[in-house]
């Protein structure tokens, strides 16, 4: 019995070391990430979006690779803060890339819908900003069409699931997008500038560069733009702006 106890006692340090470099290390990573996420949310409350963006970046650095949903959600939160530091087209591109990654990295439908809704909203705000900049019709229409496709897909999927509440919300966003596309520029200029568009300049120029860059890179099979481009147009419109998601 004494020999057995002695052996077990000698094995304790081995177990502690194994825990430290195994599950223990993962727990430490998550704890450090949680601290950064808390700092990011506090910064958002103060509307210090640059600090929030940086804190989300540090959280991503700490989060274990295996925490797929947590990493996707953190990337989404970081993209939202980027929108408020004058980089709306860049944030939109981040969310589109995120949507493509989510299609293979998670089965969390609610998270995928949240990402898609945010993508639709960002295309909507980019279109708004581009119209005010005097961009060519074909350029800003590309953004309203992308937003429309996202919201339509969300609405139709919600109907198929029997989720009437979500279907109504997405339908409102769809109608708001269509109304933006049909709105006379004089009417648009008479509306208050949305906070999502404030501080964002040269959206048209940035979107052109993004488009040129994408044309030089082979498309991925799960590219979100390929998925939504298969949809066909559908009518209608009220005067609500997109709710949630952004």
pLDDT in tens, 13-60: 555 445 445 567 889 999 999 999 999 999 999 999 999 999 999 999
The residue among 242 and 216 whose pLDDT is bigger is 216
pLDDT band, very low/low/confident/very high, at 236 (cuts 50, 70, 90): very low
CB-based contact 95:122 (threshold 8 Å): yes
Secondary structure of 131-156 as H, E, C letters = HHHCCCHHHHHHHHHHHHHHHHHHHH
Residue 192 has pLDDT above 80, yes or no: yes
All structural domains of the chain with their residue ranges: 88-246
Its pTM stands at 0.80
Predicted confidence at residue 216, as pLDDT, reads 78
CA distance 195 to 207: 20
The per-residue pLDDT for 13 is 56
The whole-chain average pLDDT of the chain stands at 87
In this structure, what are the phi and psi dihedrals at residue 146, rounded to the nearest 5 degrees? -65, -45
Three-state DSSP class for residue 194? coil
Residue 156 · residue 134 · CB < 8 Å:
no
Q: How far apart are CA 123 and CA 120, in angstroms?
A: 5
């Amino acid at each position: 019995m004494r020999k057995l106890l002695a052996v077990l006692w000698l094995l304790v340090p081995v177990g502690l070391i194994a825990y430290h470099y195994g599950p223990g290390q993962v727990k430490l990573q998550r704890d450090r990430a949680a601290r950064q996420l808390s700092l990011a949310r506090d910064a958002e409350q103060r509307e210090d979006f640059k600090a929030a963006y940086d804190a989300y970046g540090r959280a991503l650095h700490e989060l274990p690779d295996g925490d797929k949903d947590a990493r996707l959600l953190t990337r989404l939160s970081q993209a939202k803060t980027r929108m408020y530091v004058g980089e709306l087209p860049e944030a939109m591109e981040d969310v589109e890339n995120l949507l493509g990654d989510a299609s293979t990295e998670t089965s969390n439908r609610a998270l995928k819908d949240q990402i898609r809704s945010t993508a639709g909203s960002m295309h909507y705000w980019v279109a708004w900003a581009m119209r005010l900049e005097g961009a060519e019709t074909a350029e800003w229409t590309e953004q309203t069409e992308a937003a429309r496709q996202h919201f339509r897909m969300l609405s139709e999927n919600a109907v198929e699931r029997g989720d009437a509440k979500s279907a109504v919300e997405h339908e409102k966003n769809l109608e708001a997008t269509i109304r933006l596309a049909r709105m006379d520029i004089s009417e648009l200029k008479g509306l208050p500038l949305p906070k999502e568009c404030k501080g964002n300049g040269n959206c048209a120029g940035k979107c052109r560069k993004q488009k040129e860059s994408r044309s030089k890179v082979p498309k991925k099979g799960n590219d979100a733009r390929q998925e939504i481009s298969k949809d066909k147009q559908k009518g209608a419109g009220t005067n609500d702006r997109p709710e949630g998601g952004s």
